[in-house]
Amino acid sequence: MDKRQKLTLIVALMILVLILDQALKFYVKTSFPLDGGFRMLGLDWAQIKFTENYGMAFGMELGGKTGKILLGVFRILAGSGLLYYTFKSLKEDKRFSFVISLALITAGAIGNIIDGLFYGVLFSKSTNITTAEFMPADGGYSTFFDGHVVDMLYFPIIETHWPEWMPFVGGELFKFNNYIFNLADLSITIGVIWIIMLGAFSKKFTL
């Protein structure tokens, strides 16, 4: 595979991730109220469950509106750096497995950047009762740089209770994989795992 073909594949992969990520977010945000969704194939452990991330990863927040703006600027700089490094690595003919991993991470980062930058002005507010409207006549729920990241993939693979005899947590509900995430997060995770598992920095591995 020559460099032109590799470039085409990398660009196509990143565009595909972005389209799928944004399409699913748009569908979920305009179709369900907060906490709404459905069970995929009727399975309890594979669900679409709409929630919004108001700040950083795992719902952490950073100093109100000013913090969100700073976070948005940081995300843009980080995303730009990743984008540059991805194509720089391709140009320098680094291991293609590594470049693919970077492309997945970069596309995922850009997908979440889009939410934070634009969703506040593109959508009306989502509540536990009403669904959001795209491009509402009265304007969006917030301002540029103050959008909320849309999450919806929920896989509580194990849901049980701790044995009563266990100290501190006996009888309490236990859920394995209780996090809700999106396709952009999944793309980033796959990219990171790929780098670790394939050893993309090592000449011992090829793809």
The catalytic residue positions are 151, 185
DSSP letters for 101-127 = HHHHHHHHHHHHHHHHHHHHHHBPPP-
The closest alpha carbon to 110, from 181, 179, 187, 54, belongs to: 187
For residue 48, give the DSSP letter. Answer: E
Q: For residue 87, which of 20, 3, 203, 189 has the smallest C-alpha distance?
A: 3
Residue whose structure tokens are 């194939």: 41
